[in-house]
Amino acid sequence: MSEPVQSVLHEAQESRGATFRDDDGWLWTMGFGDGLAGYEAVTGSVAIWDVYPLVKWVVTGSDAAAAIQRVFSNDVGTQQVGQVKYGAFLADDGTMVDDGTVFKHAEDRFWVFSNTSGFGDHWRAHLGGLDVEIVNRLHELPLIAVQGPRSREVLQSLTDTDLSGLGYFRFLPDQIEVAGARAWISRTGFTGELGFELVPDRSGAVQIWEALTLAGAVPIGLDTIEPTRIESGLIIYGTDYTPGEHTPYDVSLDRMVALSGSASFLGRAQLAVTASAPPNRLKTLRFEGTELPEVGAPVLVEGAEVGRLSSRVISPRFGAIGLAMLHTAAAADGTLVEVPLGDGTVRATVDVLGIKDPQKRRPRS
């Protein structure tokens, strides 16, 4: 059996006490021994997270935009150079194959970030007749997330490039110098906080990471990401939706499906029908007490199943919370539900998706 793939930042993190988890052959950073300290850093100061295993595709050619649009739910045609768009990657029937982001560098050059490399086979099967080249550059493009209210301040201390005008879901198409190394920088993240993501040259990744820690950034892992992303209503592939089974509407990605424009993508006709009456909604559950039900547990109203719990965590701010895909009729805020726990059930209240900041004011700040 082959050894799991390690990030270029593995040793730098290991030397600071990091622990890791093998997830389908990739080592993800679990944490650094104090998840609460990491949470306080990302919500009150600044933290850094190694997102090396995220799959990064470089897409080039005169038909690059058309190639992405064929499988992407958001509108690439209206995307500007330097803009990032998030959405679902789709199958013929409108179900999700993956979800991720698209970065427009030029009319004939894009990045696409997805969760799995297997998505590439599905994508290439739908590119007949297009002038496009798609290359997986995961190992050449490490990714460091710099997140928290002080992220802009700390990054600015390491570069002469003015970051004050970089808007939410925008990026600089050209590399800049950060801590003496070259990197692309985007105003994106997976924490629901003000944040940036750096894509350095592989040779400069450790140099930037160490400079960020010296500047006060606290390294974090999944033990910190989990509460922040659940508080923010952010989904995980294969956890909050099942590829090939659920549509973007099942996880409340309505705004990421470009039905109002001219974008043509797989499953558009089916999704237009679904949009008129989505069968499911992704919502937050706020549990009574401090015990958590199992992931996958049914959500009940008067004993009848109305959905499934997909994620749950003890949040330092909100206590016991989770994400659940619920039948639309049971998804109204304030609905009282029960979820099996041990030999009985625990009561919970349906709440807005992204309870920390439903209007996303924090990452836009």
CATH of the domain at 333: 2.40.30.110
Kindly state whether residues 31 and 154 are assigned to the same domain: yes
Burial class (CB in 10 A: 0-12, 13-18, 19+), 291: exposed
In-domain check, residue 305: yes
pLDDT at position 23 is 87
- 47-50 and 218-220 beta bridge pairing: parallel
Instruction: Name the amino acid, one letter, at 111.
Output: W
Torsion of CA 280, 286, 289, 291, to 10 degrees: 50
In-domain check, residue 261: no
Kindly state whether residues 35 and 153 are assigned to the same domain: yes
Residue 193 phi/psi, 5-degree rounding, is -115, 165
Q: What is the pLDDT along the chain (365 residues), one digit of tens a residue?
A: 578 899 999 999 999 999 999 988 889 999 999 999 999 999 999 999 999 999 999 999 999 999 999 999 999 999 999 999 999 999 999 999 999 999 999 999 999 999 999 999 999 999 999 999 999 999 999 999 999 999 999 999 999 999 999 999 999 999 999 999 999 999 999 999 999 999 999 999 999 999 999 999 999 999 999 999 999 999 999 999 999 999 999 999 999 999 998 999 999 999 999 999 999 999 999 999 999 999 999 999 999 999 999 999 999 999 999 999 999 999 999 999 999 999 999 999 999 999 999 999 999 99
Assign residue 34 the CATH number of its domain. Answer: 3.30.1360.120
Decide if 65 contacts 105 (C-beta within 8 A).
no
In-domain check, residue 284: yes
Among 197, 230, 263, residue at a domain's last position: 230
How many DSSP H helices and E strands does the chain contain? 9, 19
Kindly state whether residues 289 and 225 are assigned to the same domain: no
Of 271, 343, 331, which is closest to residue 307 (Cα–Cα)?
A: 331
Kindly state whether residues 296 and 364 are assigned to the same domain: yes
| Spatial separation of the C-alpha atoms in residues 7 and 66, rounded to whole Å | 32
In-domain check, residue 236: no
Kindly state whether residues 47 and 159 are assigned to the same domain: yes
Among 230, 252, 269, residue at a domain's last position: 230
Kindly state whether residues 26 and 155 are assigned to the same domain: yes
Kindly state whether residues 165 and 294 are assigned to the same domain: no
Q: Quick count: other Cβ atoms within 10 Å of Cβ 260? A: 7
Kindly state whether residues 225 and 283 are assigned to the same domain: no
Where do runs of H (alpha helix) occur along the chain? Answer: 10-14, 35-44, 64-69, 119-124, 151-156, 205-214, 222-231, 268-276, 361-364
pLDDT at position 2 is 74
pLDDT at position 24 is 83
Decide if 115 contacts 98 (C-beta within 8 A).
yes
pLDDT at position 158 is 98
Q: What is the pTM of this model?
A: 0.97
Kindly state whether residues 36 and 160 are assigned to the same domain: yes
What's the domain range around 361?
279-365
Give the H/E segment covering residue 133: strand 133-136
pLDDT at position 1 is 55
**230 in helix, strand or coil?**
helix
Among 230, 262, 297, residue at a domain's last position: 230
Q: What angle do CA 100, 324, 38 make, to 5 degrees?
A: 65
| Spatial separation of the C-alpha atoms in residues 243 and 246, rounded to whole Å | 6
Helix axis angle, 222-231 to 35-44, nearest 10°: 50
In-domain check, residue 253: no
Give me the number of domains the chain comprises: 2
**Which structure tokens are listed for 271?**
């999704």
Of 231, 226, 218, which is closest to residue 32 (Cα–Cα)?
A: 218
Kindly state whether residues 29 and 167 are assigned to the same domain: yes
Q: How far from 92 is each of 97, 245, 266, CA to CA, in Å?
A: 10, 12, 5
In-domain check, residue 122: no
pLDDT at position 3 is 82
Kindly state whether residues 35 and 182 are assigned to the same domain: yes
pLDDT at position 325 is 98
**Which structure tokens are listed for 175?**
């590399």
| Spatial separation of the C-alpha atoms in residues 362 and 193, rounded to whole Å | 5
Distance of CA 232 to the CA centre of its chain: 11
In-domain check, residue 339: yes
Decide if 325 contacts 310 (C-beta within 8 A).
yes
In the chain, the N- to C-terminal Cα span, in Å, equals: 47
Kindly state whether residues 26 and 148 are assigned to the same domain: yes
In-domain check, residue 61: no
